[in-house]
Structure 1
Amino acid sequence: MSIITKHKYMTAAIDSWNSPPQNLTLDINEIHVWRVSLTQTESGLQTLAQTLSTDEQTKAERFHFPKDRSQFIVSRGALRAILSRYLHINPSHLRFEYNPYGKPSLIIAQSGNTLRFNLSHSRRMALIALTKNRDIGVDIEGINPNFPCLDIAERFFSPLENSVLRSLPEHLQPTAFFTCWTRKEAYIKAVGKGLSIPLNQFDVTLAPGEPAALLNIEQNPEEASRWSLIELIPSSDMVGAVAVAGDCWKLHCWEWKGEF
């Protein structure tokens, strides 16, 4: 399913995720987001593990719990498999470099100067977002109705966001909280500076039914107009968001099913 827009506001719903075409291309004005199940068979897990670099395999082995280890392998292996479809490079041959804040990118020789991507995973699912020649960030979170939303929001959200969150009916607050969190995380991941950007120094929308948007950045008010936020609904109990530089794009949502 394709969603076309020339403005900043769009939502990819649960039923938006479909199988990609055989001949997959990424045009300059497109954003592709892949939904990845982190539940794989043992043989599938082994196949993905074999495509990882030595440092990725070492990192995987550091996880104490097998579930965390397998989810890391699947998310990184799926990222390699998906990137290989665009670049026509063997997944195991892909090489990444990292900025000072840990954000990965492809090396220049493998289109790292044009193809941009970002990865996020939570619970049983990952999202991988790709575009060309513009910064991009993605985040996914599971909705936890028992999470101490108001207490955490008081520490990390802006005064405006706290005010909106507290004004909502109690049963809507968990979804609104995680909606806000994913939008803020997607933005700081797109910028590539992680939590060095204080979460309480910029505002995003979070109320149910309100379009995803970056409203204001305290230190640089003009910066907000440079970014678009896209709401993603990968499942009934999860929320997600993509932040991307610019405001004219076509969104495609694909389902990864273990293809190489």
Structure 2
Amino acid sequence: MTTSDNEWLNPSADLTLSRDEIHVWRADLDPPTSHLQLLAKTLSADERNRAERFYFEQHRNRFIAGRGILRTILARYLGIDPSEVQFGYEPRGKPILAETSGDSRLCFNLSHSQGLALYAVGRDRALGIDLEYIRPISDTEQLAKRFFSAQEYAVIRALPPSQKQETFFRYWTCKEAYLKATGDGLAQLDQIEILLAPEKPASELRLPSSLGTQDWVLQELTPTANYVAALVVAGQGWHLRSWQFL
């Protein structure tokens, strides 16, 4: 099942998150200047320093927007001011909420591409999300041969040119979402096999026994035109709600 563009709803003021829900937020990283200034005020001193290291203004502003929006979304669930949200990091760099933020059960992950970002939030479940803007790649088949399984490479190779790019990025986002959920690096891309067809959403995530026995659920998302995305969540029995960040 995919989430189409017209299913991204405006959240209610009393929005809550139950354990059997996963919330995914879509956000524009190029907000009006007045909004960007408000988001900048929520950042920590370290985040402001990181923003200043960007050479190009657009990249700097998108970093500010991305972190400010993340803080605003998480603060909504935590019941605190966005500036009070504190982060920690897992050994491989995956961001997590610091215990001082007040709700260790709240899990999140984010991804951005060009001027769009997606944020996934859940409770007591590992999760990962990945987003990619569909752009021309000259060596699609070579990349698929290097990073994908033999079956996935065969699928890419057999497709007409008009379908290769999008299908490549769909494979990539599904794999990357899993690796972000687990916190593992890209070295395992070829060990993760995704069952999908150009005209159908991904149906299965196949993992070798060496990667453990955890039950993972994969769902493709359609954020907007020319983008693909995927969400991977630990365990069954949840449903997705998709929100538009204003």
- TM-score norm. by structure 2 comes to 0.95
CA RMSD of aligned residues (A): 1.6
How many residues are paired up? 246
SS of the residue corresponding to residue 18 of structure 1 reads: coil
SS of the residue corresponding to residue 33 of structure 1 reads: strand
Moved more, 51-60 or 146-155: 146-155
* 1:215 corresponding residue in structure 2: 205
* 1:238 corresponding residue in structure 2: 227
Kindly tell me: are residues 216 and 90 of structure 1, through their superposed partners in 2, closer, same or farther at Cα, counting changes over 3 Å?
A: same
The counterpart of 1:115, out of the listed 103, 106, 109, is 106
Kindly tell me: are residues 175 and 14 of structure 1, through their superposed partners in 2, closer, same or farther at Cα, counting changes over 3 Å?
A: same
SS of the residue corresponding to residue 200 of structure 2 reads: coil
Are 2:133 and 1:142 aligned? yes
Q: Specify the code of the residue in structure 1 equivalent to 2:235.
A: G
* 1:169 corresponding residue in structure 2: 160
* 2:115 corresponding residue in structure 1: 124
Q: C-alpha offsets along residues 219-252 of structure 1, whole Å, 9 cap, x if unaligned?
A: 53763x6101111101110000111001211110
Query: Could you tell me whether the CA contact under 8 Å between 1:147 and 1:174 is conserved in 2?
Result: no
Q: Specify the code of the residue in structure 1 equivalent to 2:191.
A: Q
Q: Give structure 1 stretches of 5+ with no counterpart.
A: 1-9
* 1:34 corresponding residue in structure 2: 25
* 1:103 corresponding residue in structure 2: 94
Alpha-carbon offset, residue 108 of structure 1: 1.9
Query: Could you tell me whether the CA contact under 8 Å between 2:216 and 2:235 is conserved in 1?
Result: yes
Kindly tell me: are residues 194 and 221 of structure 1, through their superposed partners in 2, closer, same or farther at Cα, counting changes over 3 Å?
A: closer
SS of the residue corresponding to residue 10 of structure 2 reads: coil
Structure 1: 4+ residue segments shifted above 4 A: none
Query: Percent sequence identity over matched residues?
Result: 45
Kindly tell me: are residues 161 and 22 of structure 1, through their superposed partners in 2, closer, same or farther at Cα, counting changes over 3 Å?
A: same
* 2:3 corresponding residue in structure 1: 12
Which structure ranks higher in relative contact order (CA pairs < 8 Å, sequence separation ≥ 6)?
Answer: 1
Write the distance in 2 (CA, Å) between the matches of 1:162 and 1:112: 42
Q: Specify the code of the residue in structure 1 equivalent to 2:239.
A: K
- TM-score norm. by structure 1 comes to 0.90
Write the distance in 2 (CA, Å) between the matches of 1:62 and 1:210: 42
SS of the residue corresponding to residue 39 of structure 1 reads: coil
Query: Could you tell me whether the CA contact under 8 Å between 1:143 and 1:238 is conserved in 2?
Result: yes
Write the distance in 2 (CA, Å) between the matches of 1:105 and 1:116: 7
